Amino acid sequence: MGRVVTRAGLIRAARKAQRRGERVVFTNGVFDLLHYGHVAYLQKARRLGDALFVGVNSDASVRRLKGASRPLVPLSDRMHLLAALECVDLVTSFGEDTPQQLIEQVRPDILAKGADYRQKDIVGAPGVKARGGRVVRIQLSKGRSTSKLVEKIKGS
């Protein structure tokens, strides 16, 4: 099985890992213009458990959230770049504006999100906690963001 999988494939893999007693970590994002901040974040997330599964916003979802000019990199490319990272076990996409449904289906042991999110605003957190899981806010790399890269490119 490749590392870019369908939603159903990711859910099956999560169940299988959990039956083996492994802690499944889930995170999500756009991951447009993959940069050091993304990689550092994903490495930290992976260290929280035994397997890191990543949900990536579809192109249509990104346009609804960030505007018509985004994403800069198409979904397939974003997913394959993430899958190439050693710290990422599996990648899937989701077309909804939030990963709520995917998180409910995956039922991760640990939900990871950037520390720029307040605990109460993390989508899926109540369900993860209700099942005995943890929600972890990860410190982001200062000054590293796709938005800053886009601004720099536009300014040059």
Model pLDDT for residues 23-79, shown as the tens digit of each residue: 999 999 999 989 899 999 999 999 999 999 999 999 999 999 999 989 999 999 999
Phi then psi dihedrals of residue 114, to 5 deg: -65, 150
**Confidence label for 153 from pLDDT (cuts 50, 70 and 90):** low
Query: What is 7-155's CATH number?
Result: 3.40.50.620
Q: How far is CA 112 from CA 7, 95, 121, 133, 148, in A?
A: 18, 20, 13, 11, 23
100 — pLDDT class (breaks 50, 70, 90) = very high
Q: Is the pLDDT of residue 1 over 60?
A: no
